[in-house]
A and B are shown apart, each in its own frame.
Chain A
Amino acid sequence: MLEIKDLRTRVGGREVLGGLNLTVNKGEVHAIMGPNGSGKSTLAYTLAGRPGYDVTGGTVTYRGNDLLALAPEERAQEGVFLGFQYPVEIPGVNNVYLLKAALNAARKHRGLPEVDAFEFLTLVREKMKVMQMDEAFLSRGVNEGFSGGEKKRNEILQMLVLEPSLALLDETDSGLDIDALKVVANGVNTLRSPERSIVLVTHYQRLLDYIKPDYVHVLARGRIIKSGGPDLARELEARGYDWVIAEAA
């Protein structure tokens, strides 16, 4: 699904990713953990094509094609979804329109006709039930006036409607209380399938209690310095990152 080789990214003139390697196969869930400033969000933004995140070296192959050659919207249309750590508010553009426009853009890219209005609403209502969201959210501006938890639910709702092949979830658990965390995790688990892959960026083990990863990686100073199974996350929770960084030095 995704193969990253020696990826180097500069942000604001500073190298943040310095030779990152990662392979994610179909159906796998990978958790990326690491201390603040290690490059976790930079990795997510680089893969999503955010302007200002300049790739200076390395390759990223997604489903056999060069991901870095695609514009951000093309990456999304190809099935890459970024769940934002801080979703922006866009007053004046309502949620339901964004969902429909995004879904239709992906369908058009695949040569499919625009979604039928009735079919679309049925789909959205079904996904909203999973996310325990009130339908009133649909007519509100994108994330406008949403609480932190509501924004994160809305991100996952978008993901469920778009059904991406590769989901990059950047600290989806931050700012969530335990009940909201369960709902969000349930939404993510709903998407799991042998055909999809998920990369979870997180600081904390607690998210991984609800979304069981296949692999856990530690990112520090722009590189993955240790990889392991779910037990690694528990060890990090207990011992912190210093020992891993010391081990890798």
Chain B
Amino acid sequence: MSALPSNRDENWKYANLRALARVRFGDTAVPSAQDVSTLAETLPDLPQGNARVVLVDGHLAAGVSPPTRGVHFGSTPQDIATLESSSGSGPAADRYFAMLNQRHAPGTLSIEVPSGAELDLELWLAATRVGHPSVRIRLGEGARLRLAERVVATPAAAALASNLHLAIDCEANARLELTRVQMFTAAHQHIETLDLRLGKAAECYLTQITSGGHSSRSSSFVTHSGGASRLHWNVAMLARQTQVHDVYVRIAHDANEAHTVQRFRGIGMERSRLAFNGHMQVAAGTRDVRTEQSLKGLLAGGEAEIDLRPQLEIHADAVQAAHGATLGKLDADMLFYLLSRGIPPAQAESLLKWAFISDVLRHVPTQAVRRQVEVLLADLLPGSASARAEVA
């Protein structure tokens, strides 16, 4: 097994490893019936036609996960932690937590969408103590999956940690709409490894909203392997107090005409820290690959810190690669404009933060999902009643 990463590792410079080092990532106990019952009460009604599956600390909560065709929970395959982007393995430290997950996960949730089939699924990842959720998704040719992933936690728990491994394989012409909402409770430390492979002409629209918690680290490894595949990777993060959120995404374009659009919008408030490291790779011998990277940070606290790192590693000639990273404070002209209309300062600032984040939200492909995310996000911003009114 590889070594525990340290802040000297290039891809882990900003992660809150000191806090993670204090977590005892051992095997996970089966959650108590009381915890599952408490959790069940917090779950919203399931929209008609949708399916739901709930993992509690990595264990299947069968009582609140109605049986769904193609979805089953079983032993963890021994190959998934070692899935790598085919363009290079990268530093061994990047796989440490995936390996840890494989060792300790109580099982793996397998989601199979057969060729030509469609599935709408809610995936709830609940944390009550320390857990290792393991999820493997496979979309057959032309399959379509709308997956809404939500992280929830027992609010009263003193210390929580989750180490998620999510492995996704999209065959030719498959389409995945993955909406990830991670609203952590104060004590929650979350670490995750995401492996994604896109086959020929496959499409993936990923939107992720992360907020709250103690700290989080997300490592993603994406491979365009089949040609003419499309990836829209949109992440919005809000951090307050002393929270630390750190994201590393490596996207390997190993096939012709692969196209990636990546947007990151991060708001750092108070003394929080945010880091986004977006690493685009274009393999030698490919042609007509397109990448667009837009990383923006908003410093909304006197001692907040945001680190944005767009990286391009291009080994081919016929490539279109655009990237930009900007970091700034609330726009003084916009703020004055709102104030001059009588809007109180707290509400005006909240609106501008909303506007900043909405750049990510507007790209959620399904309107119903977009509205759900908007309502959840409105709760996070000061003056949320007003922001909610905007989306109501």
Chain A interface residues toward B at CB < 8 A: 48-51, 71-73, 75-77, 81-82, 84, 87-88, 90-94, 97-98, 100-102, 105-106, 109, 141-142, 158, 162
Contact = CB atoms under 8 A, between A and B. Distances in A.
A90 B340 contact: no
A109 B342 contact: yes
B355 A98 contact: no
A93 B341 CA distance: 14
B333 interface: yes
Given A81-B340, A98-B343, 20 more contacts: A49-B339, A73-B340, A73-B345, A76-B342, A82-B340, A84-B340, A88-B333, A90-B334, A90-B338, A91-B358, A93-B352, A93-B354, A94-B390, A98-B338, A100-B389, A102-B342, A105-B342, A106-B342, A141-B355, A162-B342
Contacts of A51: 332, 336
Contacts of B348: 73
A101 to B, nearest CB: 5
Contact of B339 (A71, A100, A106): A71
Question: By CB atoms of chain A within 10 A, which of B332, B333, B340, B357 has the most?
Answer: B340
Nearest to B387: A97
A105 B333 CA distance: 20
A92 B341 contact: no
B359 interface: yes
Interface string B207-221: 000000000000000
B59 to A, nearest CB: 40
Nearest to A89: B334
B90 interface: no
Contact of B342 (A73, A88, A141): A73
B360 to A, nearest CB: 10
18 contacts: A48-B340, A49-B340, A50-B336, A71-B345, A72-B339, A73-B340, A73-B342, A84-B337, A87-B337, A90-B334, A90-B355, A92-B356, A93-B338, A97-B390, A102-B343, A141-B355, A142-B337, A162-B342
Interface residues of B, number: 28
Interface in B285-321: none
Contacts of A94: 390
Contacts of A88: 331, 333-334, 337
A91 B355 contact: yes
Contact of B386 (A82, A101, A162): A101
A102 B332 contact: no
A90 B280 CA distance: 30
B241 interface: no
B115 interface: no
Among all A-B residue pairs, the 10 with the closest Cβ atoms: A92-B355, A76-B342, A92-B358, A102-B341, A105-B342, A72-B339, A97-B390, A77-B342, A73-B339, A93-B355
B351 interface: yes
Contacts of A84: 337, 340
Nearest to B336: A50
A76 B340 contact: yes
Contacts of B357: 92
Contacts of A101: 341, 343, 347, 351, 386, 389
A76 B358 CA distance: 27
A72 B352 contact: no
Contacts of B336: 50-51, 72
